[in-house]
Amino acid sequence: MGARVETQVADNPLHGLALEEDLDIRDPLRHYMGIESSDSTVVQSYSMLPEQQYSVQNDLIKLPLGQRSDTPEIVLTLAISAREGCGGVAWPAGQVLADYLIEKGSDFLKGKTILELGSGTGLVGLAAAILGGHVWITDQAPLLDIMRRNVILNDLSQEVTVAELDWGLPIPESIPKPDIILAADCVYFEPAFPLLVKTLTDLSDTSTEILFCYKKRRKADKRFFVLLKKAFTWTEVLDDPARSIYSRDAISLLRLVKR
């Protein structure tokens, strides 16, 4: 798919949520290409990521992380492919969360069992592994190959396990109970909202550290947080020096706590 975005939902003869849901099903990538203003116009916003050609398959990018931190910079090599849809490319919220982990340092992650939900390329989980975590990167079956490739490209086969995990289904016995759950850019497809909440609930207890980074793209995203509120409370992460930068791009980094 190209970079075309929906510019005015109101111009379509079909109005409202039914149209939104139909468009989501036909094109889950559409909300990644911009953010929705108060008048329902989707507008372009800046991105901290290197420019990616979303129509190119099996491309490689070099992604520097931790550039705004006093800690040593990490450079990941990532295979990207739009063939797998939105999961096959890297998105700004993933970079924000990875940068925050670098800011926290290896003491925060070393020796911990860490699970990333909706890993896509594996960006966040790979950064966590470099920082000393025992990491599971998870997603649906079509994305497993690209995740495995990125594990190998970054020489992390001993530190990272790739696993299939479909939201809403029982957690496979092979996946351990994590100390830390990471999720970035998982709020984009409304039919998956209750499934994501169920999986978060099944994986966690009151002691689980959950870092959840998302980019606000449309008003319907609020429905996810209505569902989430039934099982979790959350607060915004305030100790990230880059917060004033990414907040201008409608990105929020939250810490969830199970009720």
Numbered residues of the known binding site for S-adenosyl-L-methionine: 91, 118-120, 139, 167, 184
What are the backbone angles phi and psi of residue 163, rounded to the nearest 5°? -145, 145
Among all chains, which residue has been given the structure tokens 């959950």? 210
CB–CB of 93/251 below 8 Å?
yes
Tokens representing residue 257 in the block:
């706590």
What are the backbone angles phi and psi of residue 69, rounded to the nearest 5°? -120, 155
Residue 162 CA, distance from chain mean position: 16
Q: Round to whole Å and give the CA distance between 165 and 199.
A: 9
Annotated binding-site residue numbers: 91, 118-120, 139, 167, 184
Q: Round to whole Å and give the CA distance between 183 and 100.
A: 13
Where does the chain show beta strands of DSSP type E? 35-36, 42-43, 59-65, 74-80, 113-117, 134-139, 160-164, 180-184, 209-215, 232-236, 251-258
**Pairing of the two strands 35-36 and 42-43:** antiparallel
Q: What radius of gyration, in Å, describes the C-alpha atoms of the chain? A: 17
CA distances, 127 to each of 132, 185, 259 (Å): 9, 16, 29
Q: Round to whole Å and give the CA distance between 153 and 141.
A: 20
